[in-house]
């Protein structure tokens, strides 16, 4: 005889699982509609979102970086803010600042764009290191301190930063400490021929953005929070944990890698693997998940060109034995 509460829990769990799957499917659909022909990029962005990490998109102008960020922000239904970085951008422009209210005769805090749910930091490498470092606390601890007063950010605070690798003039490359705050770095790349044809076809007709149907939010920020909680509970077996540590050790000892995977990076890798497992409708992580997210996670920390990063990734993956029959 099965206890009634067990049955109820199981039914609720199934129900929740179904809801989560539907929510993810909706987000995915919305993003795929906005960014045509790039499902793998959408998947990585989703993994990053669910793993509570921040995403750095490095690619040429006009490839849809902003489109992706806006679509993601719209889909999760939160507040979306955008910061266009220039050399004269000040930290207060990002975090917010206090002004003196003449009526109340008190200082009031005016929150900056970091108090959004999704923050798009465009061309982040154009900001000065001072402004870049203002983002450090926000990204790492989900809070900012202005005038010695800490201010909590949204629980689903998610940064999508873009940078242009082609231009080096007047840019400030992100320091390693800043890079380590990002969970993943990815490139979007040019769309395929058929997708470009479809993009052109869709652009005929509407003359401005208001003419096209505006995308609607598919989930609420609270739902996203639940999703992230669910992902964090995905099981990671001892064999996979050992595999993760082995990978980190090999990365650290790789001759071409100046700074290896930090423990924070390893945690990020595990969260990303959990998210990947969740997106594949699994309740546990397998080595395939780890290998699937290893590339974006590693490239955010290697600070080297994309080709070299891919080579290092291949060498690292080939050097570590996948746990298979040792437990049997």
Interaction site with another protein (CB under 8 A): 235, 237, 239-240, 282-288, 291, 317-325, 327-328
d(CA 225, CA 32): 22
Angle at 287 between CA 286 and CA 292, to 5 degrees: 105
Closest distance of CB 308 from another protein, Å: 20
Closest distance of CB 240 from another protein, Å: 6
Residue whose CB is less far from another protein, 104 or 327: 327
Across 191-223, b (16+ Cβ under 10 Å) vs e yields: beeeeeeeeeeeeeeeeeeeeeeeeebbbebeb
Closest distance of CB 304 from another protein, Å: 22
Overall residue count recorded for the chain in this entry? 328
Closest to 294 (Cα-Cα) out of 232, 244, 257? 244
Residue whose CB is less far from another protein, 88 or 242: 242
Residue whose CB is less far from another protein, 137 or 315: 315
Closest to 258 (Cα-Cα) out of 185, 318, 176? 176
Closest distance of CB 291 from another protein, Å: 7
Residue whose CB is less far from another protein, 222 or 283: 283
For helices 221-232 and 263-279, what crossing angle results, to 10°? Answer: 110
Closest distance of CB 230 from another protein, Å: 16
Q: Over 267-327, what HEC string results?
A: HHHHHHHHHHHHHCCCCECCHHHHHHHHHHHHHHHHCCCHHHHHHHHHHHHHHCCCCCCCC
Residue whose CB is less far from another protein, 160 or 285: 285
Closest distance of CB 258 from another protein, Å: 24
Residue whose CB is less far from another protein, 81 or 293: 293
Name beta bridge partners: 100: 107
């Amino acid at each position: 005889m099965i206890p009634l509460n067990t049955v109820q829990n199981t039914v609720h769990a199934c129900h929740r699982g179904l809801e989560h799957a539907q929510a993810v499917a909706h987000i995915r659909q919305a993003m795929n509609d906005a960014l045509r022909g790039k499902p793998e990029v959408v998947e990585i962005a989703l993994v990053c979102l669910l793993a509570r990490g921040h995403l750095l998109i490095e690619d040429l102008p006009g490839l849809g970086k902003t489109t992706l960020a806006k679509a993601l922000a719209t889909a999760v239904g939160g507040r979306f803010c955008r910061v266009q970085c220039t050399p004269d951008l000040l930290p207060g422009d990002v975090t917010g600042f206090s002004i003196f209210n003449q009526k109340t005769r008190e200082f009031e805090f005016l929150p900056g764009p970091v108090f959004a749910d999704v923050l798009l930091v465009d061309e982040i490498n154009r900001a000065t290191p001072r402004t870049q470092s203002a983002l450090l606390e926000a990204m790492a601890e989900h809070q900012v301190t202005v005038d010695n007063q800490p201010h909590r950010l949204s629980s689903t605070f998610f940064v999508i930063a873009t940078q242009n690798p082609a231009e080096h003039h007047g840019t400030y490359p992100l320091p390693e400490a800043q890079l380590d705050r990002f969970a993943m770095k990815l490139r979007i790349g040019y769309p395929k021929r058929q997708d470009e044809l479809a993009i052109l076809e869709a652009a005929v007709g509407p003359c401005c953005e208001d003419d096209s149907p505006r995308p609607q939010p598919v989930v609420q920020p609270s739902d996203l929070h639940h999703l992230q909680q669910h992902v964090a509970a995905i099981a990671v077996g001892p064999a996979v944990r050992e595999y993760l540590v082995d990978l980190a050790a090999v990365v650290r000892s790789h001759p071409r890698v100046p700074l290896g995977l930090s423990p924070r990076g390893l945690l990020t890798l595990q969260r990303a693997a959990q998210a990947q497992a969740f997106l594949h409708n699994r309740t546990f992580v397998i080595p395939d998940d780890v290998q699937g997210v290893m590339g974006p996670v590693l490239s955010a920390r290697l600070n080297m060109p994309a080709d070299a990063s891919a080579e290092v990734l291949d060498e690292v993956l080939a050097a570590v034995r996948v746990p298979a029959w040792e437990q049997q």
